[in-house]
Homo-oligomer: A and B are copies of this chain.
Amino acid sequence: MQILLKDIAKLVDGKIVGDSDISISSLAKIDDAKPGELTFLYLPAYEKFFTNTKASAILVKPEFKKSRNDITYIEVNEPDKAFSSLIIHYFSPSFYLSGIDNSAFVDSSAEIGADVALGKNVVVSAGCKIGSNSKIFHNTVLLENVEIGNDALVFQNVSIREDCKLGNRVIVHPGAVIGSDGFGYKQDKKGVYLKIPQIGNVIIEDDVEIGANVTIDRAAIGSTIIKKGVKIDNLVQIAHNVIIDENSVMSAQVGISGSTKIGKNCILAGQVGIVGHVEIADGTVLTAQSGVSKSIKKTGFYFGSPAKELKTAKLIEAHSRNLPDYYKKITNLEEEVKRLKEALNKKS
């Protein structure tokens, strides 16, 4: 594929500086790019690669110092977003799967929409419904009454347990488990735990993406709900009866305990943990490894375990680093005060 730089500039609403007649064949990172490729520069930390990049063209901010003449610049306000737009427009992958493989099992009571693709050894149990144009890759298992919308993409080795519902355009990465039992027990007088059957389900709305080896437990009763547009990274744990509101995102290895409600447009960075039965306000940002033990009612940035407002956490952290110094100051003061007392006593 050869793409004219003019077409690219038009797509990203950018201004070409340099040779506008060239075309590019591919996109690459600035430190990997080869002749004929387009790259971008956004983070200052990557400017060191500019001198030697072999890219033929580069997306930069208008104010970037254009010290090389052998490369064509495209000026845009947000080079990273422009680059993403190009990937989306020109390089969106299509996943090769079509038809229903002979080795797939589809129960006679299942309803399969038009143009659905089922890979090898896929299991579609009784009562399942799969919307049109959805693709389910090899060795994925749907237990009874699972519903999946249109245009969904479910990769290989995924487990979806009975009665769970997934919306349109949902993407589920390999190894994810949806609808496993919540962690619910009743302890008897001898300390033995008796299992409480988890009789709810999981509802995943449209445009949700679920990472590899994620686990989302079914509700004890009712539904665990992941609302429209939520994006969940790998190895995240969502416990029973959690509700995650629209367009919230959570990075890898986040854990959310039972019955907690996450608001809209929240950002949970990697390895964040949240206790059960709390509510997190819309738009809250939890920085990496934060541990939340109470509801967060005020939108803002939070950090620490237990989590505090980021500003407070940073102030405490800065003071903590000074603790050895403060200890010296206290010891000095004690000596000074002792000397002052002695001096005063002598005067008496």
Contacts and interface: CB of A to CB of B under 8 A. Distances in A.
Contact of A81 (B87, B156, B186, B319): B186
Contacts of A277: 43, 45
Given A175-B177, A343-B344, 12 more contacts: A43-B277, A81-B186, A87-B221, A88-B186, A119-B123, A121-B123, A143-B156, A161-B174, A174-B180, A336-B341, A340-B341, A344-B347
A144 interface: yes
Interface residues of A, number: 116
Interface of chain A, main secondary structure: loop
A3 interface: no
Given A156-B159, A192-B229, A293-B288, A253 B255 contact: yes
B161 A138 contact: no
A289 B270 contact: no
A119 B312 CA distance: 54
**Tally of this chain's copies:** 3
A330 interface: yes
Nearest to A193: B231
Given A174-B159, A237-B235, A288-B275, A221 B121 contact: no
A144 B343 CA distance: 85
